């Protein structure tokens, strides 16, 4: 075991066991401090992302820092509600008694962030972990985004409780060392291949995990859609951050009746966003490193003859031009291409043409379940078919990516695209164990003999009556009948009831 990893893990375990993270006051202080950290460290963090990824400050702020600010404020606004003991119904066999749900923190948790959105994907889950009362080791990808990670580590040390919240840099060796430690919860964001490694490491200690991975998010453009809007939104979702966004449209199926117009409009949108030469645009990012540039560049060069927009690749400059590859109706070549063999995670958009959306549903269902699926259409039959007949982490109609900003919606994959979910209340639940709580009186009168052996015929009959399976309307009818009976009793003794009420008022008011 790596001494540094073991030391930090032991420190947060000790902090949690001390009880410091459990009170609402500590949670509020840390969330408030996080907001102050984002405010005061804004320029340093945005400049770090500009140097590491050529990301402009506006994109960096609104797609990362601002979303974390909203998450932290949302948690502060709802913390008392989330922490409160929630009373639930008690079944007949446990009457008299009370039942409740108690959210309690897991304990010492590990959060492993990802380089493509190094602040959002580290700090958004941190908000949930803090709100739920955990102690945290936060691992940031300093080998991939060194300037951003260095700024974040320094700011966390300055603003947050360093005994209970540790923000660490380091490369893959640090990740491996941390995964050897025993945690009460692991939250990982990254590739599916590494997700498998995390899952295996967690299984060693039966540690619960949340895995936010990715996959290929299909996008369908129907003939009834507004092509101008569809093209702009898809181009924005695909080429923002140079396509290095897990929920971006990965590939497009466009109806044959609108295919030519869609290609024309998406070319137009790319030019509007980034100019004639995206390389010179301050709003166009770079690939994270040369290895990924080479990988994605191979998808472009494989089908150079089908590139209808872009196609330029500069490995040394980590640059790939926003590229559209048009496969037309040749689904066989489309499916066999390198671009369809894995999540692209770069600024390349393969497009195929369809005539019947049922064939697209069949295509989607025979591949791994995507993180997101988007349909641009105003045909309710078409949108409903994709909603009900496919499975994905999220589903969007006439929109891409922006559902992430709604705290009332969960974010997470299914199958190969992820395990678990977070955002808003879901983040709090993600880092909480929901404990069942029951309280009953211990008076002898309520200790029914029928529960204990030996089970004579009368006990079996009584238990059978109490535990008989009944539809919910039976219980509603019983409740109303009981209330009616109480009303009749009170009405029949209204003079006596009035006397009792008069006595009670006199007693209360003196």
Just list the catalytic residues: 212, 246
CA distances from 189 to 28, 79, 276 (A): 25, 25, 34
**CA angle 262–267–272, rounded 5-degree value:** 120
* CA–CA separation, 338 and 347 (whole Å): 14
Please answer whether residues 217 and 249 qualify as being in contact, where contact means their C-beta atoms are separated by less than 8 angstroms.
yes
Please answer whether residues 306 and 326 qualify as being in contact, where contact means their C-beta atoms are separated by less than 8 angstroms.
yes
Within a 10 A sphere around the Cβ of 433, how many other Cβ atoms? 15
Please answer whether residues 426 and 417 qualify as being in contact, where contact means their C-beta atoms are separated by less than 8 angstroms.
no
Please answer whether residues 440 and 94 qualify as being in contact, where contact means their C-beta atoms are separated by less than 8 angstroms.
yes
- Which residue, 126, 161, 186, 168, is CA-closest to 20? 161
Q: Which helix (H) or strand (E) holds 201?
A: helix 192-204
Q: Which residues pair with 167 in a beta bridge?
A: 138
Burial of 73 (0-12, 13-18, 19+ CB in 10 A): middle
* CA–CA separation, 367 and 341 (whole Å): 11
Number of helices (H), then strands (E), in the chain: 19, 18
């Amino acid at each position: 075991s790596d001494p540094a990893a073991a030391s930090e893990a032991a420190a947060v375990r000790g902090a949690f066991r001390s009880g410091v993270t459990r009170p609402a006051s500590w949670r509020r202080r840390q969330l408030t401090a996080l907001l102050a950290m984002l405010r005061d460290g804004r320029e340093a963090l945005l400049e770090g992302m500009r140097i590491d990824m050529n990301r402009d400050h506006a994109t960096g702020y609104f797609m990362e820092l601002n979303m974390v600010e909203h998450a932290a404020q949302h948690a502060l606004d709802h913390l008392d509600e989330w922490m409160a003991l929630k009373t639930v119904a008690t079944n007949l066999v446990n009457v008299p008694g009370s039942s409740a749900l108690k959210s309690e923190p897991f304990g010492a948790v590990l959060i492993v962030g990802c380089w493509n959105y190094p602040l959002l994907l580290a700090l958004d889950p941190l908000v949930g972990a803090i709100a739920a009362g955990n102690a945290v080791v936060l691992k940031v990808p300093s080998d991939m985004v060194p300037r951003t990670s260095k700024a974040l580590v320094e700011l966390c040390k300055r603003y947050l409780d360093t005994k209970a919240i540790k923000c660490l840099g380091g490369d893959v060796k640090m990740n491996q060392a941390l995964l050897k430690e025993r945690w009460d919860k692991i939250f990982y964001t990254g590739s599916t291949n590494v997700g498998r490694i995390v899952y295996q490491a967690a299984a060693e200690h039966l540690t619960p995990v949340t895995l936010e991975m990715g996959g290929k998010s299909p996008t369908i453009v129907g003939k009834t859609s507004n092509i101008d809007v569809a093209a702009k939104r898809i181009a924005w979702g695909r080429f923002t951050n140079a396509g290095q966004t897990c929920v971006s449209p990965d590939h497009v199926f466009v109806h044959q009746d609108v295919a030519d117009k869609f290609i024309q409009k998406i070319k137009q949108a790319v030019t509007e966003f980034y100019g004639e030469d995206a390389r010179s645009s301050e709003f166009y990012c770079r690939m994270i490193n040369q290895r990924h540039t080479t990988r994605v560049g191979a998808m472009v060069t494989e089908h150079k003859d089908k590139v209808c927009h872009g196609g330029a690749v500069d490995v040394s400059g980590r640059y790939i031009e926003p590229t559209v590859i048009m496969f037309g109706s040749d689904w066989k070549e489309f499916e066999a291409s390198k671009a369809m063999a894995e999540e692209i995670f770069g600024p390349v958009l393969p497009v195929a043409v369809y005539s019947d959306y049922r064939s697209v549903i069949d295509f989607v269902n025979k591949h791994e379940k995507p993180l997101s699926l988007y349909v641009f259409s105003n045909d309710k039959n078409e949108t409903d078919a994709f909603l009900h007949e496919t499975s994905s982490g999220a589903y969007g109609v006439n929109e891409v990516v922006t559902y992430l900003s709604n705290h009332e919606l969960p974010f997470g994959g299914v199958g190969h695209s992820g395990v678990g979910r977070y955002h808003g209340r879901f983040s709090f639940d993600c880092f909480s164990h929901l404990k069942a709580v029951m309280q009953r009186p211990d008076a002898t009168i309520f200790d029914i003999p029928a529960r204990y052996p030996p089970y004579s015929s009368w006990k079996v009959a009584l238990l059978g009556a109490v535990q008989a399976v009944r539809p919910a309307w039976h219980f509603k009818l019983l409740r109303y009948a009981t209330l009616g009976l109480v009303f009749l009793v009170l009405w029949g003794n209204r003079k006596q009831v009035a006397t009792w009420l008069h006595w009670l008022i006199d007693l209360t008011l003196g």
